[in-house]
Amino acid sequence: MQAKLESLEQSKITETMRRTIIRVVGVAALYAVMSTPISAAEQQSSDFSHFEIDDAAVTMHSRLNPESPIVGETLIMPKIADPDVYKENNDSFFLSGTNKRDTDIIPIYHSSDLMNFEKISEYNPDLLDPNHDYCNLWAPTITKTDDGRYQMFFTTKQTRKGQDCDESNNEQAMFYAESGTSNMNFGAPQPINTGKNAPRTHTTQFCPPEGCSNALRIDPEIAKAKNGDKWLFYNWFGLGQNVIAAVNLDNPSQRHNVAIPSFRDNSINEAPDVFMRNDKYYMLYSRDWFNANYGLSYISADTIASLTREHQPSHEISTVERKSDGQLHANIGHSSVVNRNDQYYVFYHKGTFNNKGKLADRSTYMQELQFENDKIISLQS
């Protein structure tokens, strides 16, 4: 295992050097038609399946005094990464995320107070699709249609029935599933198809003929515009980078890149999280590699169309924690902001590192999201 970890680290260092050279050549090429395959194992900074982390069976996490005020950082769900919180109403919330104990399933939890969560469902698409298996189920997000159907968008690798995940040459791709009731018993995975020559589920390693930006790869997020249109935010891979983009699901001709990583982001902007406050849109996102200067930043704008790094300044609200010898101690990323009784809370995963600087754990935490006028105040660690 140690040799495997060292080999993985060396490959990531080599990849980072390659990407640095590519970025110097020019970011403008991101908009060109590309067909070079980029592996999710190389791209997905949130993936920690290669690291040894202690297991713990978790069905419910409960605070002893749920009525006490939330002060600073609060552990919500051990061993769950990439959290998403869907608000049904002020007394009903659904939490889902990446299950590091078994990435072939997605656990779903319910809470009435944002602090006590009980497991109510477990999504296993292998049991629902007679023709395919699914592995590497990451970063789900739950939403609800205007006619009352619950939808869960997620990323996964689809394989032939009975095929081992590592033997498949397919890439991470985005699917969705539906549930008719709040029991969250979702049906079989369905591909996302927004139209011809438009962003869609694309399971192969190579990019679509018309360009990499049309391959829905990882980190789905659903946001509603002021006119009621539903937008899908997502990551696509190309030219050695993770780029955040958005497409209007009600009018797919409206689509654009949202966040292209700057040089200091080390090739990665990912995990978009969009919410509205005081008629203004905010998008939190993760930057950099999980084992480097990983952290949360945000942009804000009056419309979804103008919610881009090209038009809006980016602000960092978290930084990595390092030990006295410079090794990593902890970092946070992949947020989900929710409003309860006019107070905003941010859920995120926090990675902690051992005395050798290796990732040792990732769990979901939460704290109050504070503002100064329209500006988000940096998070407490």
Q: Looking at per-residue confidence, does 101 or 173 come out higher? A: 173
Q: What is the mean pLDDT of the chain?
A: 86
Q: With 90 as the cut, is the pLDDT of residue 59 above it?
A: no
Predicted confidence (pLDDT) per residue in 80-99, tens digit: 999 999 999 999 999 999 99
For residue 68, the model assigns a pLDDT of 53
In eight-state DSSP terms, residue 380 is P
For residue 195, the model assigns a pLDDT of 85
For residue 71, the model assigns a pLDDT of 62
Q: Looking at per-residue confidence, does 21 or 73 come out higher? A: 73
Q: How confident is the model at residue 70 (pLDDT cuts 50, 70, 90)?
A: low
Find, among 187, 191, 94, the residue nearest to 143 by Cα. 94
End-to-end CA distance of the chain: 31
Domains, in order of start, for the chain? 2-376 (2.115.10.20)
Rounded Cα–Cα distance for residues 131 and 158 (Å)? 10
Q: What percent of the chain has pLDDT over 70?
A: 81
Tokens (6 digits) for 145: 């249609």
Count the Cβ atoms, other than its own, within 10 Å of residue 35.
Answer: 12
For residue 67, the model assigns a pLDDT of 52
Least confident of 26-30, 168-172, 294-298, 316-320: 26-30
Predicted confidence (pLDDT) per residue in 251-269, tens digit: 999 999 999 999 999 999 9
Q: What is the mean pLDDT of residues 13-21?
A: 39
Tokens (6 digits) for 254: 């409206």
Rounded Cα–Cα distance for residues 206 and 114 (Å)? 41
Contacts by 27-30, CB closer than 8 A, 24 or more apart: 27/260, 29/239, 30/213, 30/238, 30/239, 30/241, 30/243, 30/257, 30/260
For residue 69, the model assigns a pLDDT of 55
Burial of 301 (0-12, 13-18, 19+ CB in 10 A): middle
